[in-house]
Structure 1
């Protein structure tokens, strides 16, 4: 917390307007996410695609009265507000938070590396929160913006800070080091992730090492040759400056001598026992994970606890209780047409605010419920803590609060002081479960947020809709990454139309639409009127174009403010009559031109009649004119693409001239955006690329596949040579074979063409080929080479490790067909970093 005057001084700013020296408690970079407007500072960050100065009015309307800006503002439009003017708002943010960090003398742990930063940070929090009051980075806030926002969370009662730092190009770590100033460093590992901005691996390691130039201790694994070599040179350079280095290295290794020598790894069921030697003493820990990444992350944490002199007995106890880090919020279908946001892994204030913001985005429900457990290891008196929580919940559009735990039960009066918030309290999770039948959930948006010890997973099972075991997980954060990849490809001012037709290519409808609306796309597109109406009913307010409008639904389109694609004279005449009947004028329509695709659209010879119909037509107004490229992804068709573009320019120019005003022009789909930047016009249509499938061959390394299709092993059998598997005895067993039956079939959208060894799935990250034909609800795979496979294990049907494009090739089809073919009986789960 800092006074506004102090922030102005430390950010090297000047006052454009000053009214009161308010103590700032919250830093805001997104006007949609404001918890305490009275004590918030809105920082107007300027990015190529989005300028924070455009959202000052929105933040002001929500009660914010303190602003950090880098442009001249007419402050008379914002009476009573403080405005600090700086040269660069991001640099100013980093400057004043670096000064703020200096006010704390507590130990701070800084974490960097290619992978594992967030997990190590979260596990250290789990392991140490009983002994320390800890401030840590929320989620994976490790960027030039995320680090200062994280360090700002330091409070006087904290006894330890844990912050992660990530970089993507040289020069960035210098800024982050000044802000974090770690005493203890952890270098998790080094790999190729985010290497695009560096000449080579050595340069990347050296840049990351800058984080530790003032640290006292540094933990790393000496089994990474490049990292170990760079570390030795780093220490040599420090010694070369004429003084013995203050930096103490703490190494661990499975191969040679180190401070912590790992002597044995033993997998026991779903656990790993890790044995080691430290200071001549044999030690061991057991963790509830078996994968190599978790083992590496756990050993880093073990080293840290040894450095902090945590007793080995306590380390062993805590390590065995480690739990999976929920990197993202999960959005699931709940009972009685409800939506369940499952965030049952931590309960600190920052993660609560992130989850509440996500709950507010769920406009498909009019009723919102928060189920919260006691918040443990916060370090604030219960009265102050729950007063803050009650105010944060009451400030939002939340109708019901359910508190679980003795501390919340004692704090009932703080919540009941907010008359519009209905609040119910239970002393324990068990009591809530017993009385759950008395609590009505019907078409609710439910946030389930609890400390691990409250075992809210039991509540989640009861509130989640029972459906098929096969799950399509949709990563909305990956979708936002893909959106931003394409946004960087278009010039400022070019609008983005996102395709959400066909159930968002099989990914869901309103969940995806909400994420896109929240991200600020300009238009949505659906195939049919009913799809658009469903989005409107769910609260989507963006303009929506309907690509295949049925003339019989024109009245409903107008009633729900959906905009039709008009592709022939008949559809224009019928729509005009309906607009006349409903007494609307200048209703937005979208004119489709046929430039060579020959599917839908006006041909050149039809333009004169189109001009006649539009002339003096007061009932419609052309919002956009567009066409469709037949082969934008194919270099062999580039000449035809140029012919289409020329035809589009000629036809749209003629139409614009006749209209007397300029509608938006758009031609490019996803592949066109990537391969034909000269054809972006006023708007682009983003379809398959949004979902992480690169049809252009240009953006493969930048896009992230959004969907992961998972199922489970239902049964495992041992078969002898000569036996057969599946219908018509198509699967032949010619050697002792271990067969797993998995819970997916062609009724789920898994094509029959993938049977008989054509495709494989992944089990424990290993390929398992299909044996026999694909059945309606099941198929069989060979797990002979995967001895650890057992009934109930997760199976990856497609995902980032097994791309959808690979399955499409095996099935001799295209990704569109694979995605849209996934059955509606397959449960969709939505994850978001928040």
Structure 2
């Protein structure tokens, strides 16, 4: 990256109030703990911090320029540049939009209620076989994360896959305005974020905001089994394709067979039938797989090359990550996030991966389900029973409804345990499990269940020594 101060000012409607109007920056940061030499520091405000209080620290660490929307306390060092704007968050997004426009490459936006991260990862891994591909890392999928991802674009990149998240109407519109996608994938519309959006219709409208920004020669790929999504997407004029099980889908899932090590999929891809293998044993992921392969095919990737690459897919951190233990046991770390549908897929994965010991599901609260909150947790409990979980451990205030749902579905009370926090759950796991058990961990990100995963893994590894 190399951005001139003049380019920055024009992009964000900013005014240099200290220093020279010349010079360049070579990276962008909103975190004073992560400052590169000759960096641009943008001072954002949060609920618990104000970046303006760290401008001098950023300069001391090597930042060349800072973007602010109020006066900075203290003395600005000589040789530094301060640019003032009306709103620093808006400036971050305006600058990201201008920077993205420098790159004439296909950018694929991925959104949806469930499975957008997995779909993004699949598309990026397949595209990487042909293109140098940038992708969203971690949870950099919001008003701050998306622009920071776009700033990582470099001259060598030939494609980008950007994940778009939202909690309210208008958010994906803002993100899409920055991203300027050539294509978009909408995985589905489900009762996630009902707490802030209020209705399924609003969720569909929010997801479809991305369609407004598709290139004239680009395309949208949407879940053809979701009638609400299809109806809402019909309001946009971009070229659209569908994927799913319905007979009228352009990319149709014909058959899915779950095996111990993955799923075999037969799919009709616009009139030609292909067989593909995906190395995670959860049939629910067939949607993500077919959507990912279809998107890459529409972008010019040879179908056989895509299918070959698919067989070597590796899950990212905290997303159905399988850790093999001695004596045949496994830890399945799927703590990145959770909702009822992804819980069901994870439980199926655990059932199919178990080899020797018991299947243990350690499940925590799912957030932002709104009016579906209690019902969603009860449903997960029923799915735990249906997937033959041997021991169910729930964590958190809402987790008790998962336990209740399992009991209602006929699971024996001596196999269901509920705990208020991770510490209590950890003590139980250490006392009752062994290294032949397959243990699934999953909850919403706010539960920070990855902490429990690492503690349990450390305990098991040390116990084996």
Is the pair's TM-score, using the shorter chain for normalization, greater than 0.5? yes
The residue correspondences of 1:524-563 to structure 2 (distance < 5 A) are none
Q: Tell me, yes or no, if structure 1 residue 128 matches structure 2 residue 124.
A: no
Deviation at 1:714, TM superposition (A): 7.2
Task: State the partner residue of 1:256.
Answer: 247
Deviation at 1:33, TM superposition (A): 2.2
Give the unaligned 5+ runs of structure 1.
236-244, 331-344, 346-456, 479-707, 716-739, 745-761, 769-784
The residue correspondences of 1:129-168 to structure 2 (distance < 5 A) are 129-168=128-167
SS at match of 2:10: helix
8 Å Cα contact 1:16/1:75 also seen in 2: no
SS at match of 1:39: coil
SS at match of 2:195: coil
Task: State the partner residue of 1:815.
Answer: 420
Task: State the partner residue of 1:95.
Answer: 94
Q: Tell me, yes or no, if structure 1 residue 113 matches structure 2 residue 100.
A: no
Among 271, 280, 286, the residue aligned to 1:280: 271
8 Å Cα contact 1:28/1:41 also seen in 2: yes
Task: State the partner residue of 1:13.
Answer: 14
8 Å Cα contact 2:328/2:355 also seen in 1: no
SS at match of 1:162: strand
Q: Tell me, yes or no, if structure 1 residue 231 matches structure 2 residue 233.
A: yes
8 Å Cα contact 1:186/1:300 also seen in 2: yes
Among 766, 787, 791, the residue aligned to 2:384: 766
1:104/1:200 CA distance change after superposition, 3 Å: same
The residue correspondences of 1:645-660 to structure 2 (distance < 5 A) are none
1:766/1:144 CA distance change after superposition, 3 Å: same
Deviation at 1:264, TM superposition (A): 1.8
SS at match of 1:163: strand
1:189/1:801 CA distance change after superposition, 3 Å: farther
| TM-score of the superposed pair, with normalisation by structure 1 | 0.43
Give the unaligned 5+ runs of structure 2.
338-346, 362-379, 408-412, 436-451, 456-465
8 Å Cα contact 1:133/1:160 also seen in 2: yes
What's the CA shift string for 1:575-617, capped at 9, x where partnerless? xxxxxxxxxxxxxxxxxxxxxxxxxxxxxxxxxxxxxxxxxxx
What's the CA shift string for 1:338-358, capped at 9, x where partnerless? xxxxxxx9xxxxxxxxxxxxx
The residue correspondences of 1:472-491 to structure 2 (distance < 5 A) are none
Task: State the partner residue of 1:616.
Answer: none
The residue correspondences of 1:368-517 to structure 2 (distance < 5 A) are none
8 Å Cα contact 2:130/2:301 also seen in 1: no
Deviation at 1:14, TM superposition (A): 0.8
The residue correspondences of 1:139-218 to structure 2 (distance < 5 A) are 139-215=138-214, 216-218=218-220
Q: CA RMSD in A?
A: 3.9
The separation in 2 between residues aligned to 1:269 and 1:77, in whole angstroms, is 62
Higher relative contact order structure (alpha carbons within 8 Å, sequence separation ≥ 6): 2
SS at match of 2:191: coil
The separation in 1 between residues aligned to 2:202 and 2:85, in whole angstroms, is 32
Deviation at 1:109, TM superposition (A): 0.6
1:804/1:158 CA distance change after superposition, 3 Å: same
Task: State the partner residue of 2:26.
Answer: 25
8 Å Cα contact 1:42/1:64 also seen in 2: yes
Q: Tell me, yes or no, if structure 1 residue 296 matches structure 2 residue 287.
A: yes
What's the CA shift string for 1:45-76, capped at 9, x where partnerless? 01232211122233233222311111112563
8 Å Cα contact 1:469/1:743 also seen in 2: no
8 Å Cα contact 2:254/2:266 also seen in 1: yes
1:98/1:763 CA distance change after superposition, 3 Å: same
The separation in 2 between residues aligned to 1:72 and 1:231, in whole angstroms, is 45
| TM-score of the superposed pair, with normalisation by structure 2 | 0.74
1:468/1:80 CA distance change after superposition, 3 Å: farther
The separation in 1 between residues aligned to 2:117 and 2:193, in whole angstroms, is 16
What's the CA shift string for 1:601-650, capped at 9, x where partnerless? xxxxxxxxxxxxxxxxxxxxxxxxxxxxxxxxxxxxxxxxxxxxxxxxxx
The separation in 2 between residues aligned to 1:763 and 1:158, in whole angstroms, is 44
1:20/1:190 CA distance change after superposition, 3 Å: same
Task: State the partner residue of 1:829.
Answer: 453
Among 291, 304, 314, the residue aligned to 2:305: 314
The separation in 2 between residues aligned to 1:472 and 1:804, in whole angstroms, is 22
8 Å Cα contact 1:16/1:84 also seen in 2: yes
Deviation at 1:195, TM superposition (A): 2.6
Deviation at 1:4, TM superposition (A): 2.0
SS at match of 1:104: coil
Deviation at 1:252, TM superposition (A): 1.8
Q: How many residues align?
A: 395
What's the CA shift string for 1:690-730, capped at 9, x where partnerless? xxxxxxxxxxxxxxxxxx9x999674xxxxxxxxxxxxxxx
The separation in 2 between residues aligned to 1:40 and 1:52, in whole angstroms, is 15
8 Å Cα contact 1:101/1:151 also seen in 2: yes
Task: State the partner residue of 1:571.
Answer: none
1:197/1:225 CA distance change after superposition, 3 Å: same
The separation in 1 between residues aligned to 2:65 and 2:24, in whole angstroms, is 10
1:802/1:322 CA distance change after superposition, 3 Å: farther
8 Å Cα contact 2:169/2:206 also seen in 1: yes
8 Å Cα contact 1:100/1:152 also seen in 2: yes
What's the CA shift string for 1:195-241, capped at 9, x where partnerless? 32324222222232221213120001210121112122x14xxxxxx
Task: State the partner residue of 2:343.
Answer: none
Task: State the partner residue of 2:449.
Answer: none
Deviation at 1:178, TM superposition (A): 1.4
The separation in 2 between residues aligned to 1:201 and 1:69, in whole angstroms, is 38
8 Å Cα contact 1:474/1:829 also seen in 2: no
1:323/1:196 CA distance change after superposition, 3 Å: same
8 Å Cα contact 2:177/2:213 also seen in 1: no
Task: State the partner residue of 1:803.
Answer: 399
What's the CA shift string for 1:478-516, capped at 9, x where partnerless? 8xxxxxxxxxxxxxxxxxxxxxxxxxxxxxxxxxxxxxx
Task: State the partner residue of 1:64.
Answer: 63
SS at match of 2:153: coil
The separation in 1 between residues aligned to 2:289 and 2:332, in whole angstroms, is 30
1:53/1:136 CA distance change after superposition, 3 Å: same
Among 220, 223, 228, the residue aligned to 1:221: 223
Deviation at 1:282, TM superposition (A): 2.0
